[in-house]
Amino acid sequence: MESLDFSLDDLSIGEERNSERNINWRGQVGDDTVVYKSKNLLAERRRRHKLKARLLELRGLVPNITNMNRATIIVDAITYIQKLQKDVRDLGDQLLEMEAILEEESKAWKTEGIGAAEEMKKWGIKVTLFLINSYNLHSHTHTTEITVNHIDADNLWMKIILEKKRGACTKLMEAMSVVGFEFTDTSVTTSKGAYLITSCLVGIRGRMLAADQVRELLMDIIRSI
């Protein structure tokens, strides 16, 4: 359609003079020189140059240069943008994952308290030991009460009410550490010959036992003390 119109227009223009707007006229100068006149000739030239400059600028941004062609420049830019978008997505995911890990670690730091697992366990033991030492009564374990609840996948909250017995808590902590548990945010209170121990239990990541199992474990340990 357009080409048909153009051809007709060109025919008319070439053949006869037209005074319409955007008047471009081809004046015959002399015998063989044809002078082209168009009002937007210069503007069009500027536009073309600008576009070319933009394209070159775009090409300068793309590291993977396969060709100088206009089409390939754009294609390269497209693939580059896609790669960048993918990179951003991947990096964002990775960063989120890292943040989650950091958050978890920071949580672990906060709850765990003592840096090394061993240290923490010893720390808990010491606390318990001192509490034990502060009261040197002997008794049996028939008043032991143990509560274990899940906080999340890797953390348990436990409460133990335990009759005072020398070294009991130490051994408890040591035994728990042996099987991979650590005590964090431990609080020990003594009252009327009993310990009240509340603590967060941090298990080995991904290998946390069920609360009931931990409770049984604690029971066994206390029984063996």
Partner DNA sequence: GTTGACACGTGAGGC
Partner DNA sequence: TGCCTCACGTGTCAA
Torsion of CA 210, 129, 119, 145, to 10 degrees: 10
Residue 84's binding partner out of a second copy, DNA, none, with CB under 5 to 8 Å set by partner kind: a second copy
Among candidate residues 127, 110, 137, 112, the one with its CA nearest the CA of residue 169: 127
Residue 75's binding partner out of DNA, a second copy, none, with CB under 5 to 8 Å set by partner kind: a second copy
What is the footprint of DNA within residues 18-47 (CB under 7 A)?
20-26, 36-41, 43-45, 47
Say if CB 165 and CB 225 are below 8 A apart.
yes
- Does 2 participate in binding DNA (rule CB under 7 A)? yes
User: What separation in angstroms does the CA of 18 have from each of 12, 21, 24, 33, 81?
Assistant: 8, 9, 8, 20, 48
Hey, what are 96's tokens?
Answer: 């989120």
Pick the binder of a second copy from 154, 160, 164, 222 (CB under 8 A).
Answer: 164
Hey, what are 193's tokens?
Answer: 């010959």
Instruction: Determine the straight-line distance between the first and last CA of the chain, rounded to whole angstroms.
Output: 99
Q: At what angle do helices 168-178 and 211-224 cross, to 10 degrees?
A: 130
Residue 213's binding partner out of DNA, a second copy, none, with CB under 5 to 8 Å set by partner kind: none
- Does 23 participate in binding a second copy (rule CB under 8 A)? no
Pick the binder of a second copy from 39, 92, 143, 179 (CB under 8 A).
Answer: 92
Angle at 101 between CA 95 and CA 105, to 5 degrees: 140
Residue 86's binding partner out of a second copy, DNA, none, with CB under 5 to 8 Å set by partner kind: none
- Does 110 participate in binding a second copy (rule CB under 8 A)? yes
Tell me how far, at minimum, the Cβ of 203 lies from a second copy, in Å: 11
Residue 210's binding partner out of a second copy, DNA, none, with CB under 5 to 8 Å set by partner kind: none
Buried/exposed 52-79: b ≥16 CB within 10 Å, e otherwise: eeebeeebeebeeeeeeeeeebeebbee
3-state helix, strand, coil in the chain (%, to 5): 55, 20, 30
- Does 37 participate in binding a second copy (rule CB under 8 A)? no
- Does 222 participate in binding a second copy (rule CB under 8 A)? no
Could you tell me which stretch among 16-24, 44-52, 141-149, 210-218 binds a second copy (CB under 8 A)?
44-52
Residue window 70-109: x/- pattern of binding to DNA, with contact defined by CB under 7 A: xx--------------------------------------
- Which residues of the shown chain bind DNA in the complex (CB under 7 A)? 1-3, 5-7, 9-10, 13, 20-26, 36-41, 43-45, 47-49, 51-52, 68-71
